[in-house]
Amino acid sequence: MRQKDPAGRGQSQSLRQDLENRHIQLIALGGAIGTGLFYGSAESISLAGPSILLAYLIGGFIVFLIMRALGEMSVYDPKAGAFSYYASRYWHPRAGFISGWNYWANYILVSMVELSMVGTFIQYWFPSIPAWASAAVFMVLITGANLLGVKAFGETEFWFAIVKIAAVIAMVVVGMTLIIFAIPNSSKTIPSFANLVNQPGGFLPHGVLSRTSAASGGRASYAGLLMALVVVMFSFGGTELIGITATETRDPRTTIPKATDQIVWRILLLYVTGLAVIIAVVPWRRIGQPNANGVVVSPFVQIFDTAGFRLAAGLLNFVCLTAVISVYNSGLYSNSRMLYSLAKQGNAPAYLGKLNARGIPAAGVLTSAAITAIAVVVVFLWPSFAFNYLMSIATFAALLNWSMIAITNLMFRRRIGQQAARKLAFRLPWARVSPWVILGFMVLLYILMWLYPSYRVAAILGPLWVAVLYIASGMVRRKKLVSPGRRD
């Protein structure tokens, strides 16, 4: 449905439901498969050894509960902004403000880092092209795609995800071939799934949590299954996009439950199978170590190198390029919808709540793109500040978002009542305890972040970030209360 604005341009009154089931499946699946898997898996394997597989199963169960908690509300009341809208309606307007702006800032900062990496991947083939130029070109292209309509976004993200999934499957196929034919790797180790348990230290080489000796007079650090959970959980970021897409999905009451139930086990299948094959082929203590040329390569490249595919590094470079572009694509989409929802709640400027003739919150797309561009400039000018402090806020923001989803679900069920809760078309399993399990797990992650040097800054800055959001929400709420004709 459209109406005419004062300038005579067509203006849509609602978001369009142009996303299909295949889009939803691949958007969430692709969102959880990125450089964190292709490169970051080496860090998590070094912390837990073969027991990293158990860490992914535990983390996957928690993500399943989070997704079901969000899916329960999305099916009952599909709205743009998802958890921000639900927090505002079923909890408190201030909670909606904090949830929405926290998520928006999270994706701005994550997109900032991912876009800054585009230049590195392009320079692999074209070293003379400045990194900032590559970032600018892809930013313009993806922003343009988002302005074409939600279906254009869905198709773009669908094919980005296909590339990443194909890379994981190819690695698994190559690895299984090496295992089946027992082809020795460079260290003369015979590939076998027995390597998951018969390497030094066994399946759980660092135990559940162990203190490691201080290096060079520095602080002692920790390793083990629990420490790996910190890295593992943040690799699942992006799965909550299913909730954001609900209002633009055809038949969300059928599509969202199907996508929610299938997405977690598909992610686990790809992650757990992929990492199991890697550890079976390459001794886990050698994963992430420099190769014969003194270069540290991805665990995925190590598999292909073992099989003799010398083009593996170039192919993975292409896959990682699509991965970082995909993150910006998803981030721009979700952030524009979040701003649209915040504007409808009265928690953002009113111009962000308008749609163009294509049913796109164009102002939200352009505003988010502009802020991301500024953030990318910050990365190029002050990389240490961006990575040490801004990314720490993004890391904590994910934990805060998951916690607020759990609390909002508790408030949601309290507001609709027990009788309505029993009749929900899509329900959270073990609903009386599941939100508390999620919250308990988030508290554990926060404690572990203090023990993990790479995440300690996030643990310190996180509460300050919450305080900033809380104060800002109070200022906006006070302004709405004193403004004529405005109400919460």
Count of domains observed in the chain: 1
pLDDT for 217 equals: 41
Give the model confidence (pLDDT) of 212-223 as tens digits: 765 434 455 788
Asked if the structure places residue 252 within a domain, the reply is: yes
Asked if the structure places residue 4 within a domain, the reply is: no
pLDDT for 9 equals: 47
Report the alpha-carbon distance of residue 402 to residue 336 in Å, rounded: 20
Coil, strand, or helix at residue 183? coil
Report the alpha-carbon distance of residue 232 to residue 345 in Å, rounded: 34
Report the alpha-carbon distance of residue 87 to residue 101 in Å, rounded: 12
Contact 194, 50 (CB under 8 A): no
Asked if the structure places residue 14 within a domain, the reply is: no
Asked if the structure places residue 254 within a domain, the reply is: yes
Report the alpha-carbon distance of residue 307 to residue 315 in Å, rounded: 14
Asked if the structure places residue 378 within a domain, the reply is: yes
pLDDT for 31 equals: 67
Give the model confidence (pLDDT) of 334-379 as tens digits: 999 999 999 998 899 999 999 988 889 999 999 999 999 999 999 8
Q: How many other β-carbons are positioned within 10 Å of the β-carbon of residue 307?
A: 18
Asked if the structure places residue 60 within a domain, the reply is: yes
Q: CATH number of the domain at 128, please.
A: 1.20.1740.10
**Residue 19 backbone phi and psi in degrees, to 5:** -85, 135
pLDDT for 270 equals: 84
pLDDT for 238 equals: 77
Report the alpha-carbon distance of residue 118 to residue 105 in Å, rounded: 20
Asked if the structure places residue 136 within a domain, the reply is: yes
Coil, strand, or helix at residue 388? helix
**Residue 215 backbone phi and psi in degrees, to 5:** -105, 135
- Residue 377 belongs to domain spanning: 21-210+220-475
pLDDT for 260 equals: 82
Q: How many other β-carbons are positioned within 10 Å of the β-carbon of residue 199?
A: 17
Asked if the structure places residue 13 within a domain, the reply is: no
Report the alpha-carbon distance of residue 36 to residue 233 in Å, rounded: 11
Task: List the structure tokens of 99.
Answer: 């949830």
Report which secondary-structure segment, H or E, holds 222: strand 222-223
pLDDT for 389 equals: 85
Give residues with Cβ within 8 angstroms of 434, minimum separation 6: 65, 68, 69, 406, 428
What residues of the chain score a pLDDT lower than 70?
Answer: 1-13, 31, 185-187, 213-220, 291-296, 481-488
Residue type, 131: A
